[in-house]
Amino acid sequence: MLLTNTQTAAWLDHPHHGATLTLRNDILIPEPSEGEVLVKLECSGFCHSDVHSIYGETPMETNIAGHEGVGRVVKLGKGVSSDVMGRLVGVKWVYSACGECEICKVRYVHCPHQNNSGRNVPGTFQQYVVSPLKYTTIVPEGLEPEIVAPLLCAGVTVYAGVTQASKFITPGDSIVILGAGGGLGHLAVQVASVSGYRVIAVDSGDKADVCMTSGAAEFVDFLKQDVEQTVKGLTGGIGAHAVMVTAGSEKAYESVPKLLRNLGVLVCVGIPRLDFHVPISPFDIIVRGLKIVGTSVGTESDVQELLKLTAEGKIKPQIEVYDFSEINDVIGKLAKFQVKGRAVLRLPQ
């Protein structure tokens, strides 16, 4: 039984550039409906996409952001098995999907009718959150909540990206990862390396260590080296089998056609300006046989496979942990790309 009916949450009055969040202690703890659980969060990852939402650059229809929450089930809605009470769980970007459309039958994370944590339903920047059990991740015991949080979005997104690429390439093939030392990128390097691909990591020189320790076979400093010539020199002169863009950099996307070999695949993960268009001509796609795929998070099976790899010690997110009271400092750091790896907030207990 909860001893109070209110909680602390980071409240956004309205999205706009430079917006800050107010820590409020008068937010009602929600009640779980049928099929839902109430989760007392221990931590929440802070995704760079949250900054886009808070700053009004992407749609946000709720006052509470966040979509990488980890905590324990403290209350059950009608019809939920008591087996999940007290379990460590994850609350992700896809809060729910319709489950009925033809898209859901193939890959529900692309459902056009989905609800999203921190977009149109209250997110994980609060102590308590309700979540439909069907879309809630049961976390294997023994994993640290702070490690799990960034895997629920960043980790599973790049995992799904590598899975998409694997439809066109085979282990041993080369994959260039642009932005390889970033929050998404270093996880992409790990996943691609564990999956058997030869990773060519591209980032600034200060990211070389994290890229190589994450499993990259080669590192290219885009500030000091000619990326096109270096990549071609490492791939027999014809380019990589795949390129994954994990940075929201327009220049990164603009470089892709010159880095891919014929029959190569571009995997889009990093989100640039919404009005930016990838500069690959239909002529190149037709004549060179290029393919373009994109990923937005991943399915529950993707998450479970990723958590298994993490439990085996094969995936190790680089994180910076902050107190919940530092949330506005974290917004500023993320906006300026000053966070190494992924930011994680510890919720008040």
Give the pLDDT confidence score for residue 121 in this predicted structure.
Answer: 98
Alpha carbon of residue 123 to chain centroid: 15
N- to C-terminal Cα separation, the chain: 15
Going by C-alpha positions, the residue among 304, 320, 192, 179 that lies closest to residue 246 is: 179
Q: Give pLDDT, residue 3.
A: 67
Q: How far, in Å, CA of 58 to CA of 48, rounded?
A: 12
Residue 123: name the closest of 30, 56, 213, 201 by CA.
30
pLDDT by position in tens, the chain (length 349): 676 899 999 999 999 999 999 999 999 999 999 999 999 999 999 999 999 999 999 899 999 999 999 999 999 999 999 999 999 999 999 999 999 999 999 999 999 999 999 999 999 999 999 999 999 999 998 999 999 999 999 999 999 999 999 999 999 999 999 999 999 999 999 999 999 999 999 999 999 999 999 999 999 999 999 999 999 999 999 999 999 999 988 999 999 999 999 999 999 999 887 788 888 889 999 999 999 999 989 999 999 999 999 999 999 999 999 999 999 999 999 998 889 899 999 999 9
pLDDT digits (tens, 9 = 90+) for 143-175: 999 999 999 999 999 999 999 999 999 999 999
Nearest one of 126, 150, 99, 143 to 9, comparing CA atoms:
126
Its pTM stands at: 0.93
Q: Where are the domains of the chain?
A: 6-152+298-346, 156-294
Task: Give the domain 156-294 fold.
Answer: Rossmann fold (3.40.50)
Q: Are 19 and 50 in contact (CB under 8 A)?
A: no
The radius of gyration computed from the CA coordinates of the chain, to the nearest angstrom, equals 20
Q: What is the pLDDT of residue 216?
A: 98
Give the distance from CA 104 to its chain's centroid.
20
Q: Are 145 and 55 in contact (CB under 8 A)?
A: no
- Name 267's bridge partners: 244, 293
269 with 246: CB under 8 angstroms?
yes
Enumerate residues 6+ apart whose C-beta is below 8 A from 81. Answer: none
Number of H helices, E strands in the chain: 11, 17
DSSP code at position 15: -
Give the pLDDT score at 278. 84
CATH superfamily, with its number, for domain 6-152+298-346 = Medium-chain alcohol dehydrogenases, catalytic domain (3.90.180.10)
For residue range 75-102, list pLDDT tens digits in order: 999 999 999 999 999 999 999 999 999 9
pLDDT at res. 192? 98
